[in-house]
A and B are shown apart, each in its own frame.
Chain A
Amino acid sequence: MIPLGPIIFGFIFGVIVGSQIKTGNISDTSFKASSYVIIIIAALIMAWQLGEFPYYDFLPISSGFVFALIGVLLSKFLIARSS
């Protein structure tokens, strides 16, 4: 059985926080698509090292962490308009 709790609530929490990430505010540093690829790679390595946290073993990575990242990045690109 796939536990839906961390998937649904990780995603919702990620969307809530990620909707306020607006990189358009930054004046002297730019974040391009490649920056987000690096963030995704680093986060996936971290999720792999965290393992099946706390015990959800349907994926070999931490599912709450990964779905939070998906929520943050999706809402950053779709909802946070000034980016």
Chain B
Amino acid sequence: MSQILKLISLPISIILICLGIMTILGGHITPGGGFQGGAMIASGVILSLLVYGLGNSPIEFSHLYVEVFESIGALGFIVLGLIGLFAGGFFLYNVGADIFNIVPASIQNLLHYPDTTNAGIIPYLNIFVGLKVFAGLSCIVIAFEGFKKFTEEDEG
């Protein structure tokens, strides 16, 4: 890739990552949310990977990193759902907002998002989904780049 692209893609990637995080954090009150924000963060990573190539990219994830954050995203979502099941009686019951008044105050205070919207666990679910989508989409592109390199080496 050209020198101009290499100079500009890392700053744009960093700004895209911040924009994605902002989209995740506003997901409970504005359009957007975990999936969209995670995809925006992954787009920053993908831009960097496409311009610099696998092996030279400033933003590259190891197998362990992707594995850990993908698992945290999935497990966090399930754990929040199970907390709702055991504390409120329904899977994914919003224990932070607690509209039926059936959850003990201690659990409600623990999972109440520090915000004035009284959104309960919705922002936390957005964060976990965002983490999972960001790790998953980045992993797919890293794998494709790796396969491409592998095929080129085989042909060459």
A50-B22, A54-B26 are known contacts. Are A5 and B115 too (CB-CB below 8 A)?
yes
Which residues of chain A come closer than 8 Å to B99, judged between CB atoms? Answer: none
Which chain A residues numbered 31 to 81 have a C-beta less than 8 Å away from chain B? 31, 35, 38-39, 42-43, 46, 50, 53-55, 62, 64-65, 68-69, 72-73
Write out, one digit per residue, whether chain B residues 1-35 have a CB within 8 A of any chain A CB (1) or not (0): 00100110011001101110110111001100000
Residues of A within 8 A of B26 (CB): 6, 53-54, 64
Of B52-60, B80-88, B144-152, the one contacting chain A is B52-60
Q: Tally the A-B contacts, defined by beta carbons under 8 Å.
A: 107
Q: Is the CB of B59 within 8 A of A65?
A: no
Tell me how far the C-beta of B31 lies from the nearest C-beta in chain A, rounded to whole angstroms.
10
CA distance A65 to B30 in the complex (A): 15
- Which of B15, B61, B116, B123 is in CB contact (< 8 Å) with A39? B15
- Contact residue among A5, A35, A54, A69 (Cβ-Cβ distance under 8 Å from B30): A54
| Interface CB pairs A-B, < 8 A, 12 | A3-B116, A5-B25, A5-B114, A13-B130, A17-B59, A20-B61, A21-B58, A22-B58, A64-B22, A64-B25, A68-B18, A72-B17
B residues lining the A interface (CB < 8 Å)? 3, 6-7, 10-11, 14-15, 17-19, 21-22, 24-26, 29-30, 41, 52, 55-61, 65, 69, 113-116, 123, 127, 130-131, 134
- In addition to A5-B123, A13-B24, A54-B29, 15 A-B residue pairs with Cβ atoms within 8 Å of each other are A3-B116, A13-B127, A13-B131, A16-B131, A20-B60, A21-B58, A23-B10, A25-B56, A26-B52, A28-B6, A54-B26, A65-B18, A65-B21, A68-B21, A68-B22
